[in-house]
Structure 1
């Protein structure tokens, strides 16, 4: 009973941090993933680009991975509000640049680089720090609720973006994203800066950490086995999930589904992600979170297998999408939870930034490989089965993680 009361008290008292992280993440750079295929399909049709061009664009993600440790270090040093605020400005500028492009792949790649590189401070590397420092007993649930904002945003956005693209064009859709970015960042900043219930600096992650201590704790983490197990698991999970997501709309189009149907199926995927995240957060706060993590990833493997054999059957595709949704974004939830569980919280963002290298390189590898396989075979089944193998490998790694 006492444990349950403490769980509820943490959620009640930490609502500002939770709300700030939820808004910040929902309108941050991570929200673009769910709708990227809608934009690229329109760009490919207008400018004559190949499917692999989308994968090549994602090769900028290893460059993003290189700066994430720096972003994490800056967050530990200067706090969440400063880093997230500047990154939101960069994200807004990137959307404006994407809206102004005229077909040059170099322009697209540079804008995509700015979005992911300079806009990375609007992602989990910063905002999850609010949660891990504020919550203990309800940490898994709070992390899930905060990143629930990304999934919630993705439920509403795909059909809206698809309708805007069909009715007013992709440029208008990009301008709309720029406006939403400004709105979300403003709300998050207000929530972080107007905390009058306690020490606002400490509760919003705005305190300054001792740089020498952070370096020492980060060095100790890198030398530990859990660090490398976690980074490998995150790599495999992100490669398997993002490869599918980046080519989601072209896969459905090849199977005879319209963009309108694709938009709603993207919403179904986002709805599945939302539900699975809440369940994930709740089970991670129970005993044996490592085994629960492995089970969640195996469910996603089953979803990818169903998608591989579904053909043009919309009902079967929908069933596969529901199960596959357990993997999309799960790498972020699991990485945040196990980073806080395995390592010292005083260096959380610095260590998280290093772990995120595996996430971004996995995204790049999955997107590029999936696009290349799609162009080579003209069908998605080989890549989908590769995703199944990635998920099984990741599940085995997560099962070995135990509390330090």
Structure 2
């Protein structure tokens, strides 16, 4: 008899598809900066501000989305998030003012993609896997890299041939196309299918969520914020966001274009970074199951800092061998920081780890937002991105120091459950007010 694979792998596969889409949707503004600037005349700093709003909401939504997944289930939250992305991207084709770009791509797409952010990864792996958690975390995180790999070169070519509006509609249609798969196959917890988590010896359901999602998320933040570990993790991850999504993810293509490189070539290089990130992040997940996460983070951030310090000297009108070496090296390191960070949140905060990681990820996106806008201002004022790359390199080395300051601990920080939701009378029954 052929043995069927554990359902956890199917759930992980559906989550991977959703994460691929979320990353691709969020990365799309990188190929739209110059087309929007050329059509509307908006300064790059103004367009970058919409990206910053997107990044902030992408991060701040994550902890609340993780708490909503605990209360209402992953399937409902992810399906609603995809619909929101489709709405935001689709409406951009009607805009004629910069505030509309902020509303559509900043707010709507930011909220939607934030609900499928890395806190979703922590929720999936925390519920469905006991064995191979680090490896699966790495594979799902690599979905972000795959999203760039699939979308950026395609969208750059579409924009060059048919304009940015066609690209926006492709993103909208792709988001809607994933919704049926999520509703059909994504399951919230192993007990829904009458099984245990992969590698578990017995069912260990998560504690019941007795209060609102906001109370759960804010309670986790209050408890975590009292610890040194939280601030070290959040500080390092803020720098991680600034040096990846905020700077390289948003401004690599415009910076390369400044040196005469074709936008499609630059988009291909960024996608190649995503390709190597798949290998790097999966390898990082494998290492996280075997090596102290503090050591891994220190090494990753230090190596990233060194690569960013040499990047300004590598830009040219064509992709030379040195730039290709940078792409490979930086790609392997892009989000390799995620698996050890998720593991350390679980080590320090136990069952509340996914929600706390949501807040750490929020710091990641705040750092990304600051870098996205700051780099746009630097380019507008100085006519070059060089200063932004040098500052990012120095900050990455600082993040390595923060990671190495994390201490081992044998205790888990308790995160109190929120109070029960108030009840209201509905006919002859009392129901929670949220129903």
Q: TM-score, normalised by structure 2?
A: 0.82
The answer to whether residue 312 in structure 2 is matched with residue 308 in structure 1 is yes
- Measure the CA separation in 1 of the matches of 2:340 and 2:27: 19
Indicate how the Cα distance of structure 1 residues 82 and 203 shifts in structure 2: closer, same or farther if over 3 A, else same.
Answer: farther
Asked if residue 232 in structure 1 is aligned to residue 235 in structure 2, the reply is yes
The answer to whether the Cα contact below 8 Å between 1:159 and 1:263 also exists between their aligned partners in 2 is yes
Query: Which residue is equivalent to 2:8?
Result: 14
Shift of 1:289: 2.1
Alignment partners' CA distance in 2, 1:202 and 1:82: 22
Q: Which residue of 1 aligns with 2:388?
A: 383
Deviations 1:94-148 (A, max 9, x none): 010123223x101101102111024421222234301122223421110111122
Q: Does residue 116 in structure 1 map to residue 110 in structure 2?
A: yes
1:158 matched to 2:152: yes
Q: 1:270·1:325 contact (CA, 8 Å) conserved in 2?
A: yes
- What's the CA shift for 1:197? 8.6
Which one has a larger percent helix, Structure 1 or Structure 2? 1
What's the Cα RMSD here?
A: 2.9
Q: CA deviation at 1:310?
A: 1.4
Give the structure 1 partner of residue 162 of structure 2.
168
Cα 1:197/1:70, change in 2 over 3 Å: closer
Q: Rate the CA distance shift 1:108–1:334 in 2: closer, same or farther, 3 A.
A: farther
- Kept in 2, the 8 Å contact 1:269–1:321? The answer is yes
> Contact between 1:221 and 1:343, CA under 8 Å: does it hold in 2?
yes
Aligned to 2:211: 211
Tell me the distance in 1 between the aligned counterparts of 2:285 and 2:188: 27
CA distance in 2, matches of 1:197, 1:211: 22
Instruction: Tell me the distance in 2 between the aligned counterparts of 1:147 and 1:330.
Output: 8
Q: Deviations over 1:41-83 (max 9, x none)?
A: 2111111122212332234244554444332322222221121
- After TM superposition, list the pairs within 5 Å mapping 1:47-126 onto structure 2: 47-60=40-53, 61-63=55-57, 65-102=59-96, 104-112=97-105, 113-126=107-120
Output aligned runs, 1:322-333, within 5 Å: 322-333=328-339
Task: Show the counterpart of 1:261.
Answer: 265
CA distance in 2: counterparts of 1:230 and 1:94, whole angstroms: 32
Q: 3-state DSSP class of the match of 1:27?
A: helix
Larger Rg: 2
- The CA deviation at 1:316 is 1.5
- SS of structure 2 residue aligned to 1:211: coil
Hey, what's the Cα distance between the residues in 1 that align with 2:282 and 2:354? 23
**Taking structure 1 as reference, are residues 199 and 341 closer, same or farther at Cα in structure 2, changes over 3 Å only?**
farther
**What is the CA–CA distance in structure 1 between the aligned matches of 2:257 and 2:209, rounded to whole Å?**
50
The corresponding residue for 2:343 is: 337
- Gaps in structure 2 of 5+ consecutive residues: 199-204, 410-435
* CA distance, structure 1, for counterparts of residue 110 and residue 195 of structure 2: 27
Instruction: Identify the match of residue 184 of structure 1 among 178, 186, 191.
Output: 178
Residue 360 of structure 1 pairs with residue 365 of structure 2: yes
Q: Which whole-Å CA distance do the structure 1 matches of 2:306 and 2:188 have between them?
A: 45
Name the count of aligned residue pairs: 392
1-structure distance, mates of 2:306, 2:72: 43
Structure 1, unpaired ranges of 5+ = 1-8
Q: Distance in 2 between matches of 1:355 and 1:194?
A: 23
For the residue of structure 2 that corresponds to 1:136, the secondary structure is coil
| Structure 1 partner of 2:417 | none
**Deviation larger for 252-261 or 325-334:** 325-334
Structure 1 pair 331/45, CA: closer, same or farther in 2 (3 Å)? Answer: farther
1:317 aligned partner: 323
Is the contact between residue 26 and residue 152 of structure 1 (CA under 8 Å) also seen in structure 2? Answer: yes
- After TM superposition, give the deviation of residue 230 of structure 1 in Å: 0.7
State the SS of the aligned residue for 2:115: helix
Q: Relative to structure 2, which stretch is displaced further, 316-325 or 39-48?
A: 316-325
Structure 1 stretch 194-203 or stretch 221-230: which is displaced more?
Answer: 194-203
Contact persistence 1:59–1:368 (CA under 8 A): yes
